[in-house]
Amino acid sequence: MTSRLSASPVIRDQAGTRTGPEWLILALVCACQFMVILDSSIVNVALPSIDRDLGFAPAGLAWVVNGYLLTFAGFMLLGGRAADLFGQRRILTGGLVLFSAASLVAGLATLPEVLVAARVAQGVGAALLAPATLAVINTSFTEGRRRARAFGAWSAAGGVGGMAGAVAGGALTTGLSWRWVFLINVPIGVALIAAAMRALPSTRTARRETLDIVGAVTGTAGLAALIYGIMHSTDHGWTSAPVLVPAVAGLLLLAVFTVVEARFATHPMMPLRLLRIRGVAVGNAMLLLFGGTGIAMWYFTSLFLQNVLGYGALQAGLGQTPAAVMFMVIARSAAALLPRTGVRPLILAGSACFLAGFGWLAQAQSDSGYLVGILGPTLLIATGIGLTFPTLMAATTADVPDRDAGAIGGLAQTAGQAGGSLGLAVLATAATQTAAGGSSPVALAAGYDRVFLIAAGLGLAIAATSLLLPRRRPTTPN
């Protein structure tokens, strides 16, 4: 029987190069994923304090959040391919250096423009880090059960990072200063750089390929422009110029990117041959849908707790903590079950949890109690997320050659981020239209309930899409 991760002192990559201990490699990628996802949410609670100190213009404060999210999503394809071409350790440590340096600048910023620029740089650093962590898992953990456990731990780290943001941001802002929301990343980043230098091999890739510059520019600019347009839909409406102009420009650039990759690029940034692998194509489609369910769960449940039930931001974060713990436990359990059950049963079980949990949550009203109205359904939804997310990531990257591990990691994470951005825009529009402009708890509850019903429908769509996955026999334990 395969031993646990801690039982093996070292592992070797696919070239036979000696690397660090398994536990250190797994701890490294989990900590990087935790930090990257944490930073997408930790700043939210600190925004009022930041505004008071730096004096943002009315429309400028949102870019403390959007600047990070935009470059994070837009540069991940590029970051993933860079990991393939220039080496996982080089790109991961480069991402850590950029992320940590930008965090230092953000924490010391005295002008709004400096803080926004630092957040943009943080997003680029995160876009280098995130796909590199997936590439490390793909090439370091190749045996089925160990690979599944690694994906389970990585998924749990990201989920807990997202949920810990509100609590950590509130505690740091209240106890110290909003600046420590950023400065805390500096010592953590230094420690992770040291761990990466020890754990990951320093071998250079043997490939003599150059970066596909035209593909990098059109793909990155296209994704950024599309997501930029989607971000504005909640404030300006889907048919307004601030939405349509960048969104259409983004789609045109992505069309050019596709043509370049298919016909002109000698060494494409995103090899389209990967999409001929059924698991890759179907898995990324499900990750796109899954992004909307995650937004419905974490973002809109937090709004329900604050705007309908009257919780403070820190209370809302604490109110979602049991669901975060449930997600972490179930994600690790799903990783153990995956080699035995295969992909499809876990996704179908997770989708059933989405349908039941969001259907239950859609019954919540302004007079609903926390235990029955919120806690019960969110625990059920968190179970679905725990079953689905690590399974999707493992399935999407399962049949990919090691030389494309970074590219497919970037594609998978881009699909999830794009799904989240699109899901937020669509669901926010649905909530606003249902509430009909009302700001009372009753009106807002009606809008959020509509969101939860749509999320239940996304769960059904994920289940239906999973039927297109290739059939694989479960792995029988030794």
The pLDDT mean for the chain works out to 80
pLDDT for the residue 436 = 63
Give per-residue pLDDT as tens, 115-136: 999 998 998 898 888 888 878 8
What is the Cα–Cα distance from 97 to 77, expressed in whole angstroms?
Answer: 19
Q: Would you state the pLDDT for residue 234?
A: 67
Which of the listed ranges 154-158, 307-311, 374-378 does the model predict with the highest average pLDDT? 374-378
- Which three-class secondary structure state does DSSP give residue 474? coil
pLDDT band at residue 384 under the 50/70/90 scheme: very high
Residue 463, pLDDT score:
92
Give the residue ranges of DSSP H helices in 278-342. 278-294, 300-303, 313-341
Q: Per-residue pLDDT tens for 243-267?
A: 889 889 989 988 998 888 888 777 7
Of the ranges 129-133, 330-334, 410-414, which one carries the lowest mean pLDDT score? Answer: 410-414
State residue 100's pLDDT score.
Answer: 93
User: Greater confidence, 239 or 356?
Assistant: 356
Residue 13 has pLDDT above 70, yes or no: no
- Model pLDDT, residue 9: 43
Over residues 24-51, the mean pLDDT reads 81
**Please, what sign has the CA dihedral across residues 194, 199, 205, 211?**
negative
pLDDT confidence band for 4 (50 / 70 / 90): very low
pLDDT number for residue 207:
52
pLDDT at 15: 44
**CA distance linking residue 194 with residue 192, whole number of Å:** 5
User: What is the percentage of the chain residues whose pLDDT exceeds 70?
Assistant: 87
pLDDT at 6: 39
pLDDT greater than 60 at residue 476 = no
Q: What is the pLDDT of residue 203?
A: 55
Higher pLDDT, 302 or 449: 449
Q: Which residues of 290-304 are buried (b: 16+ CB within 10 A; e: fewer)?
A: bbbbbbbbbbbbbbb
Three-state DSSP class for 301? helix
Q: Which DSSP letter does residue 18 get?
A: B
Given a cut of 60, whether residue 367 has pLDDT beyond it is yes
Report the b/e string of 48-77 with b at 16+ CB within 10 A: ebbbebbebeeeebebbbbbbbbbbbbbbb
Q: Which residues of 13-24 are buried (b: 16+ CB within 10 A; e: fewer)?
A: beeeeebbbbeb
What pLDDT does residue 379 have?
94
Q: For 7-16, 146-155, 177-186, which range has the lowest pLDDT when averaged over its residues? A: 7-16
| pLDDT reported for residue 10 | 44
pLDDT tens figures, 301-325: 877 888 888 887 667 777 888 888 8
How far is residue 131's CA from residue 406's CA, in Å, rounded to a whole number?
A: 6
Average pLDDT over residues 454-469: 91
pLDDT at 355: 93
Residue 462: per-residue pLDDT: 93
DSSP state of 152: H
Contact by Cβ (8 Å): 342, 473: yes
What pLDDT is attached to residue 296? 78
Q: How sure is the predictor about 461, in pLDDT bands with cuts at 50, 70 and 90?
A: very high
Q: Tell me what pLDDT residue 59 has.
A: 61
Among the ranges 78-82, 140-144, 436-440, which has the highest mean pLDDT value? 78-82
